Chains A and B, each alone.
Chain A
Amino acid sequence: MLTLASVFAANSSSSNIFLQQIENGITLGAMYALVALGYTLVYGIIELINFAHGDIFMWGTVITFIVVQMMGLNHPLSGFALVGVLLLLIIIGMAVSAFLNAGLERVAYRRLRKAPRLAPLIAAIGASFILETIVQLWRGTNFYAFPDIFPHGGFTIFGARVNYLDIFIVVLAVAMMYGLARFINTTKLGRAMRATAQDPEAAALMGVNINRTISITFLIGGALAGAAAVVYNMYIGQVWYLTGFQLGLIAFTAAVLGGIGNIYGAVFGGFLIGLIQSLAIQFIPGGFQWSLAVVFAVLVLILVFRPSGLLGQQVPDKV
């Protein structure tokens, strides 16, 4: 978690360290939650740990970074320019990740739908390697710094520094989650997703187009990861071919923590992991080196003692 160092160093001037870490944890958690949703949606519908999901996210970070580079942006924007660029980046990021994810499903996972559980997982690991290595061959192993395009500034509350960027991130993430919940609970497609998650055969008998529904699930999961990629670029700002591996594992942990298959669980788990990680970094001696180990320890403990996650699976919400 080398990349987190920059974020937390920037906040070191705050006077209330505990609250500051809570604030950091919430921002980080919003980002994790977006990625975790992609794991949970896919797992909910086809019971596959989409191992390549983190790399789908990473591709979002790389492509949006290239777009920003091509536009020659290297300083904070404001006004319409800011809104326009953010909108453009979010749309591009979401589109790239969404189509990559759906493409992967179409090319690989779909053919393995009747295969035993571990076969698509191994295919997903292969996909993850392919996606990472392409970027490595193309961009090298260096970190690229994403330019500072979001306006600096913020305010201090109870001794904790809150940047405008943090507010933007949390608002964006919450808006997307709200949109997702509305989509799943109120639209016809959302209903098809819920039906397919519960019983694909019965859903097919009722006239649900299973292939299309699964494709849409992958599109949505990918799109959320693409949005998270834009957030990551502005918040952490280090574009790297292996980002997806670590962040993906953390997000997967978040999904499991909340109860995989449960979309509210993924959001809850995302924020919780964000908080655990930021507090562990601050309050465990040498916390930085251990922060990933702490996340994994949480994962192992949850899986062993409460495999259905903290929120369990509330069937009506399961997708």
Chain B
Amino acid sequence: MSATNIRAQLSDSISAVLSNKIAGRELRWYLSGWRLGIILLVVCIILPFVLDGIDPSLVTTSIAIGTYIILALGLNIVVGYAGLLDLGYVAFFVIGSYTVAVGTYGFLQNAQGKSIPIPSFSGQLFWLLIPLAALLACLFGILLGAPTLRLRGDYLAIVTLGFGEIVPIVFQNVPWFFGQFGMSASPPPDVGPITFSDPLNQYPFYYLTLALVVLVILGVTSLRGSSIGRAWIAIREDETAASVAGVNLVRTKLMAFGLGALVGGIGGALNAAFVSSIAPSDFNFNISITILIMIVLGGLGSIPGVIVGAIVLRFVDVYLLGKINDAVHGLPLVSGSGAPLHFLNNVDFNTAKFLIYGLILMFMILLRPQGLIPDVRRKRELQGIGASAEGASAVGLLEREEAGEDEAGGETTTVGAGSDAQGRED
């Protein structure tokens, strides 16, 4: 059996179980998904003990992976479901991170550079910061989305990119947040005997991350099969038809944007509590794109795909590249000053990852736009009864389509109340 076959079967079985087997039948689907979900959950609960045995740093790596699973699932709502290309998702990550930092640090800086004490969320109040971070990010998502969601897709992409660039600049330049030096955030408080502040014991943090990941997975899974999820996909497929079928475009898009941002805020809060020190320069366009690559790699709109995409990319990033760097630079052929492959000593494989990212984006879009583990919809079409090669299309965002022409105005997209469709379409 060829590798492709095995992979196809594997992704088949995973997506068949994890995803909506009979579309629209949420309840039945829920139950069938439960079984595999519980098995995977048990595996994840045991996992740190295994990892600890192999390499203790893998537990920390898992936490870093978990953060990005959350972020990727959040962005997937916006890009994968609703088909809105958000290139500035990092903004919500920043907002979530700074919420926890401001909430726990106890100080802000005034314009004269003096630290001013402020009340902090001390003790068990810390836990309020996670929903607060989510809500604040959601709020900013809605504030950004309200004026911009009427824009055509590619314009929206650039506006969100701008927002993603501006937010870290704001945190750097507004006096309160200690400029480029950033702020530190406290880890969560001890809960009974469980302590989050012991650097040698990462287990509590691992389980906190796992809990948040599970929560987000449950949330997006529930949404995916619901009327809201259907409306998102309808918009992605054909905005005008969705609108005529009764989907309120502005509201539905705002919901995608707001919920995507909300999940990003959760990821940010977890990140701040975990890394404990954040600065504006930690947040840039590369993060937005990294998350986008995770979902393009895994399969736009596919929950298992997005999770696998995040795991693979983040594992390579925080663990594998470092190991490769050390291994290559340690080779006798490389390390000595006169060694034949000495030039490799100057190659930083951590940098090279962006080359890989770029290649992944290009190749996925050109050769496999449906991703490694496609949304089940795509799967079904490939097996579909009488589906021709051209007839079957990948996830709507990247599918090939022949747009039909209306009689007088050509293709039209209406964009909610008060907007002039013509002006934007010309």
Contacts and interface: CB of A to CB of B under 8 A. Distances in A.
Q: Do chains A and B touch in the complex (CB under 8 A)?
A: yes
A304 B150 CA distance: 8
B366 A108 contact: yes
Contacts of A297: 166
B5 interface: no
Given A118-B397, A293-B166, A133 B352 contact: yes
Interface in A130-152: 130-134, 136-137
Contacts of B147: 300, 304
B148 interface: yes
Contacts of B87: 125
B364 to A, nearest CB: 8
A177 to B, nearest CB: 24
Contact of A308 (B85, B148, B398, B423): B423
A292 B169 contact: yes
A290 B358 contact: no
B319 to A, nearest CB: 20
Given A136-B351, A293-B169, A130 B158 contact: no
A57 B162 CA distance: 20
Contact of B354 (A47, A115, A133, A299): A133
A119 B369 contact: yes
A252 B158 CA distance: 9
Interface in B129-177: 147-148, 151-155, 157-159, 161-163, 165-166, 169-170, 172-173
Given A289-B172, A296-B162, A116 B358 contact: no
A237 to B, nearest CB: 24
Given A129-B354, A130-B362, A121 B154 contact: yes
Contacts of B423: 307-308
A20 interface: no
Interface in B369-420: 369, 396-401
B161 A304 contact: no
Given A112-B365, A118-B398, A303 B351 contact: no
A112 B357 CA distance: 19
A115 B157 contact: no
A122 B87 CA distance: 10
Contacts of A76: none
B285 to A, nearest CB: 7
A56 to B, nearest CB: 14
A123 B364 CA distance: 9
B168 to A, nearest CB: 10
Nearest to B352: A137
The B interface is mostly helix, strand or loop, or mixed, namely: helix
Contacts of A308: 423-424, 426
B41 interface: no
**Tier of interface size on chain A:** 35 or more
Contact of B361 (A115, A118, A125, A249): A125
B354 A125 contact: no
A300 B148 contact: yes
Contact of A130 (B83, B359, B365): B359
A314 B73 CA distance: 42
A136 B348 CA distance: 10
B347 interface: yes
A252 B292 CA distance: 21
A109 to B, nearest CB: 10
Contact of B173 (A48, A133, A289): A289
A273 B358 CA distance: 30
Interface in A223-250: 245, 249
B398 A115 contact: yes
B148 A116 contact: no
Nearest to A129: B358
B215 interface: no
B360 A116 contact: no
B64 interface: no
B169 A118 contact: no
Contacts of A115: 365, 369, 398-400
Contacts of B157: 49, 118, 121
Interface string A141-180: 0000000000000000000000000000000000000000
A127 interface: yes
A75 interface: no
A128 interface: yes
A178 B107 CA distance: 57
B366 A136 contact: no
Contacts of A122: 85, 292, 296, 361, 365, 398
A118 B85 contact: yes
Given A115-B398, A289-B172, A127 B358 contact: yes
Contacts of B292: 122, 125
B362 A292 contact: no
A127 B347 CA distance: 21
B308 interface: no
B289 interface: yes
Given A289-B169, A307-B423, A118 B360 contact: no
Contacts of B369: 115, 119
A127 B366 CA distance: 12
Given A121-B85, A308-B426, A49 B154 contact: yes
B10 interface: no
B355 interface: yes
Nearest to A128: B358
A118 B400 CA distance: 11
Contacts of A137: 347-348, 351-352, 355
Of the listed residues A112, A119, A297, the one surrounded by the most CB atoms of chain B closer than 10 A to its CB is A119
9 contacts: A116-B401, A118-B83, A119-B397, A126-B358, A137-B347, A286-B173, A290-B173, A297-B166, A307-B155
CB-CB nearest 10 A-B residue pairs: A126-B361, A129-B358, A130-B358, A296-B162, A126-B362, A133-B355, A133-B354, A289-B173, A123-B365, A126-B358
Given A108-B366, A289-B169, 12 more contacts: A49-B154, A49-B158, A117-B153, A117-B154, A118-B157, A125-B292, A129-B289, A133-B354, A133-B358, A136-B351, A293-B170, A304-B151
Interface of B: 83, 85, 87, 147-148, 151-155, 157-159, 161-163, 165-166, 169-170, 172-173, 285, 289, 292, 296, 347-348, 351-352, 354-355, 357-362, 365-366, 369, 396-401, 423-424, 426
